[in-house]
Structure 1
Amino acid sequence: MEDVVPLLLLLLCVSSAAAQLCAPDASNGYKVRLSLLTALGDEAYVWNDSEMFLFRAAMAFAMRTADGQNYNVSNVLVCDETPRVSFWFVVTSPLNSSLLVERRQVEEAVRKSRNRINSAFLLTDNTLEFLGIPPTLVAPTPPSSPPWLIVFGVVMGAVGAGIVLVLGTSVMQSRREKKKAQTGFEEGEEESRAEGNGAASDSVYNLSFSDDDRLTQM
């Protein structure tokens, strides 16, 4: 019994110190709000002490990752918890539990480990809110092909089209020159000459038929 009394006094002192460090609207604190029903519907789990322990452990992990110091669950103090799952928390220094870690350090830790924290509770930025810390932006989806490869493909396509055009023009010019060498005329000139000859031949009058007509009339 004598051993229990000092332990209770110690717990009361720790609780009192935590109450002084963690309070609503604390300068170095953040309010957290969870929307379990919105996120999970009928599969929503019950928020209890174990879930709160997991949150504190996740925050200690985030602080370790960002700061590199040995944060523990005891460095994450929680207060003003409500049944609709909202609460305030602060983080104390692992070197001095009476000193609070600055807001910017906590915010940086949350941003760096936001996906890990969300995954621990099956939530998202919109259903696990750190009020005062805007939701993280989704990283843009990288293209399936590197941008330089796309540009290279466009340039090579244009070059290929130019080569085909030049080759086609050269072939047509070569055919024209070959045709001119064989006939002495280019294709256009030959066609116009043939048309001219046809027109001239159509206008020739056959004299033999003319003489026959005169003899028949006599």
Structure 2
Amino acid sequence: MLVRILVLLYLAGAPALAQTLCQPNASNGYMVRISIKTALGNQAYEWNENEMFLFRATMAFAMRRYYETKTYNVDNIIVCDQTPRVSFWFVVTSPDNAAMLTPKADVEKAVSMSRNRINNAFLLTDRTLEFLGIDPTLVEPVNPNTPPWLIVFGVVIGAVCAGIIVMLVSSLLQKRRKEKGIVEDGQDEEDRQMKGVENGNILDGSYNRGFTDDDRFTKL
């Protein structure tokens, strides 16, 4: 008799407890938005209690798969605030204590881990079955194949090599400019001497034999 009373009390209090735990914008809850018509068009199916039961079952599967050692059931998936355009909130209770909610971070990881299985159950995609606030997949950190120290070493060596090349090219250009300047100076000097000879003038450092012979005959 006592057992029956306890069962009746539990059944009577279960809806009230669920209503308390599952509320819009609950700290450990998530909103789901489903667009069946957008995904399937003329082949869209009607969302009803059977579909909701399937959703709760897939969520229980996702929680079992994530924890591995804990046994989640449909009763642990509480749904509330359902709208005709197929949107609702849900929370996940602990299998050990129905009054305790499963941490939000664990629910998020469980959903992300089984996201493809959940989508396939309803013939939907990440865009047409949205868990608002949960990324489609768990993004693993990218581990570079090349060690960081080797990348830094390569950058330093590259910078040193570039500096050496710049110095060599700069020295080569300066050397060519100097050689070109010397050649131009010599050419200018030669041009001046040739011009002086043509005008009958003696340039610095030039000896005119014609005037020497004239001086010799004059003395005689």
SS at match of 1:39: helix
What is the correspondence of 1:117-132 to structure 2 with a 5 Å cutoff?
A: 117-132=118-133
- Between the aligned partners of 1:111 and 1:52, the Cα distance in structure 2 is 19
Equivalent in the alignment of 2:135: 134
TM-superposed deviation, 1:100? 0.1
SS at match of 1:84: coil
**Alignment length (residue pairs):** 136
TM-superposed deviation, 1:137? 7.9
Is the contact between residue 33 and residue 131 of structure 2 (CA under 8 Å) also seen in structure 1?
Answer: yes
Amino acid at match of 1:24: P
Amino acid at match of 1:49: E
Equivalent in the alignment of 2:35: 35
Mean CA deviation greater in 124-133 or 10-19: 10-19
CA distances 1:106-131 after superposition (whole Å, capped 9, x unpaired): 00000100000000000000000000
CA distances 1:136-178 after superposition (whole Å, capped 9, x unpaired): 3899xxxxxxxxxxxxxxxxxxxxxxxxxxxxxxxxxxxxxxx
Equivalent in the alignment of 1:176: none
- Between the aligned partners of 2:37 and 2:5, the Cα distance in structure 1 is 42
Is the contact between residue 126 and residue 135 of structure 1 (CA under 8 Å) also seen in structure 2?
Answer: no
Q: What stretches of structure 1 move > 2 A for 4+ residues in a row?
A: 4-12, 134-139
Is the contact between residue 112 and residue 135 of structure 2 (CA under 8 Å) also seen in structure 1?
Answer: no
- Between the aligned partners of 1:114 and 1:28, the Cα distance in structure 2 is 19
Residues 50 and 5 of structure 1, relative CA distance in 2, 3 Å threshold:
farther
SS at match of 2:91: strand
- Between the aligned partners of 1:5 and 1:50, the Cα distance in structure 2 is 31
- Between the aligned partners of 1:101 and 1:87, the Cα distance in structure 2 is 18
Equivalent in the alignment of 1:147: none
- Between the aligned partners of 2:122 and 2:131, the Cα distance in structure 1 is 14
TM-superposed deviation, 1:135? 2.5
Amino acid at match of 2:51: E
Identity %: 62
SS at match of 2:137: coil
Amino acid at match of 2:27: S
- Between the aligned partners of 1:95 and 1:44, the Cα distance in structure 2 is 38
Structure 2 gap ranges (5+)? 141-220
Q: 1:47 aligned to 2:47? A: yes
TM-score, normalised by the number of residues in structure 2 = 0.58
Is the contact between residue 75 and residue 97 of structure 1 (CA under 8 Å) also seen in structure 2?
Answer: yes
CA distances 1:83-116 after superposition (whole Å, capped 9, x unpaired): 0000000000001110000110000000100000
- Between the aligned partners of 2:40 and 2:12, the Cα distance in structure 1 is 37
What is the correspondence of 1:38-117 to structure 2 with a 5 Å cutoff?
A: 38-68=38-68, 69-117=70-118
- Between the aligned partners of 1:39 and 1:137, the Cα distance in structure 2 is 24
Structure 1 gap ranges (5+)? 140-218
SS at match of 1:17: helix
TM-superposed deviation, 1:13? 1.3
